[in-house]
Amino acid sequence: MTATEVGTPGDPSLDLDLDRELDSFEDQAREFLEAHVPRTAPATAAWGVGDDTMSSYAKRSPAAEHDRIERARWWKRLEFDAGYGWITGPTELGGGGRTADHLRRYGELRAAYAVPSTNVYTISLGMVAPAILQHGQPQIVRKYVTAMHRGDLIGCQLFSEPGAGSDVAGLSTRAVRDGDEWVINGQKVWTSEAHHADVGLLLARSNVDAPKHQGITAFAIPMSLTGIDVRPLTMMTGGTEFNEVFFDDVRLPDSYRLGAVDAGWGVAISVLMNERALGTGDAFGLGRAVERLRMMASMPGLRGDDPVIRQQLARIITNAACIRYQALAADGRRKAGLPPGPAESVFKLANTEALRLVAQVAGEMLGPSAVADTGEWGTYAWGDLILTVPGMRVAGGTDEVMRNILAERVLGLPKEP
Ligand SMILES: Cc1cc2nc3c(=O)[nH]c(=O)nc-3n(C[C@H](O)[C@H](O)[C@H](O)COP(=O)(O)OP(=O)(O)OC[C@H]3O[C@@H](n4cnc5c(N)ncnc54)[C@H](O)[C@@H]3O)c2cc1C
């Protein structure tokens, strides 16, 4: 056996160089964060310290909503211009051209700082921008993808309809070809952030004669086009996070098409896989909720010493740890270059199932103070999470649908009748 040559793969000095480069990247990123944002007080700093908000779907005044968007935009621009907004993106589109390791290091570092919430960009950057990048025509990629990563533009996902949710391939919004344009008519529903969006990722039926999965075309659609009407819907928290979107003879140039005509189902699948993989981070806020619950268990008068509550707490903490380890394994698969697959559905299901139990136990511990606002820190705020969990169990694929995917496509069980 010959010794590994210096400078070839397997040469340990290459690993050392990479480590040094990552360390220096991290030092610079730390300098950037220190210069612009304070460090976060840990969720468990002390009872009564900091913001007690438990849900991003909480009701907000118009001024608070405006502030949320402006702060998110300010932060995204600052981060992007400093080179940390799209770390793994291609340099020709303004990305950093760096590796998943750089992204992970920055993410871990940033978690220690009180950066503004950028939830308004979750779908935009997690689903819409990757689909445009992967399937868009070059001028549409140039028009949207960089500006979306800089936070200048926001995207929304126009998939679900009143008659097509779990079975999204059953959609009936029509796209009819007219020369170099398409004419769009129909309705979407539950479209998160559409009221802030500049561009939508639209699935529409382009061929009524083909089997349902083969007659769909995907488009990027500017939300300012004549004939698009966005109407916000109120959730049970009182917040307005999603919308109905109506299309009335909307004319869209063919250059906005993503992928081939009638091949939109392939685009949809890549988007849904990315959506389900979002759960591998702490996109659902499980870590924070579990920490808050642990803290509550040590407060006098909140049943933290009740053996049944303690048993449920142990189950929650164990489940959260299992999810973290599974996420690390998924991270490893991604680093090895494997795309997200049906197994990622486990994260969405595991997160929402764990959050359901967290909300239930919090409700049992708090009793009436979860639903009556006494002004006491960290109590009524749980009400928003209790009212948000059912929506989380539906958004991005319901628990039942996730179970079907796991059963049929991961475990190989017989298909449902
Ligand atoms: C907070 C929130 C945000 C959302 N944001 C967006 C968005 O930005 N863009 C977008 O396009 N959509 C969005 N959605 C819509 C979401 O994707 C759909 O609600 C979801 O796919 C379920 O579809 P549905 O509501 O039509 O329910 P249905 O599909 O009608 O399901 C009704 C019930 O039947 C069950 N069911 C359906 N099929 C099966 C089956 N095969 N086996 C077993 N049970 C089944 C379901 O689990 C559910 O309990 C959002 C939803 C929520 C709650």
CA 144 to chain centre: 19
Choose one of 166, 278, 408 to mutate for the ligand 1 pocket test, by most ligand atoms within 8 angstroms of C-beta: 166
- Say which of 275, 353, 400, 416 is annotated catalytic: 275
- Give CA–CA dist 149/317, Å, rounded: 35
Token duo for residue 272: 């849904």
* Other Cβ atoms within 10 Å of 244 Cβ, number: 17
Topology match between the domains 155-264 and 281-410: no
pLDDT average per 10 residues of sequence, the chain (417 residues) = 50 69 95 94 67 79 92 97 96 94 90 91 95 97 98 98 96 98 98 97 98 97 98 92 97 98 95 67 78 88 90 94 86 76 80 93 91 85 90 91 90 89
> What are the extents of the domains in the chain?
155-264, 281-410
Residue that is written with structure tokens 């211009």 in the block: 81
pLDDT of residue 212: 95
Choose one of 275, 398, 401, 406 to mutate for the ligand 1 pocket test, by most ligand atoms within 8 angstroms of C-beta: 398
Q: What is the DSSP string of 252-288?
A: EEGGGEESSTTBHHHHHHHHHHHHHHGGGTTTT-HHH
Pairing of strands 199-205, 155-158: parallel
Residue that is written with structure tokens 């702060």 in the block: 71
- Give CA–CA dist 45/302, Å, rounded: 19
SS3 state at 243 = strand
- Give CA–CA dist 115/56, Å, rounded: 15
Q: Decide: 201 and 220 in contact? Cβ < 8 Å.
A: yes
- Give CA–CA dist 384/291, Å, rounded: 17
CA distances, 254 to each of 125, 131, 175 (Å):
23, 16, 11
pLDDT of residue 221: 98
182 pairs with which residues across the strands?
177, 252
- Give CA–CA dist 88/102, Å, rounded: 8
pLDDT of residue 53: 80
> Which of 374, 398, 371 lies closest to 384 in space, CA to CA?
371
- What CATH topology corresponds to 281-410? Butyryl-CoA Dehydrogenase, subunit A; domain 3 (1.20.140)
pLDDT of residue 2: 43
The answer to whether residue 92 is catalytic is no
Please tell me the distance between residue 264's alpha carbon and the centre of ligand 1 in angstroms: 19
Q: Decide: 351 and 124 in contact? Cβ < 8 Å.
A: no
Please tell me the distance between residue 391's alpha carbon and the centre of ligand 1 in angstroms: 9
Cβ–ligand 1 distance for 388 under 6 Å, the answer no
- Give CA–CA dist 188/198, Å, rounded: 16
Q: Decide: 96 and 87 in contact? Cβ < 8 Å.
A: yes
> Which of 120, 81, 93 lies closest to 198 in space, CA to CA?
120
The CATH superfamily assigned to 155-264 is Butyryl-CoA Dehydrogenase, subunit A, domain 2 (2.40.110.10)
pLDDT of residue 252: 98
Please tell me the distance between residue 165's alpha carbon and the centre of ligand 1 in angstroms: 5
SS3 state at 146 = helix
Residue that is written with structure tokens 């770390």 in the block: 87
CA angle, 363 then 395 then 386, to 5°: 10
Phi, psi of 208 (to 5 degrees): -80, -10
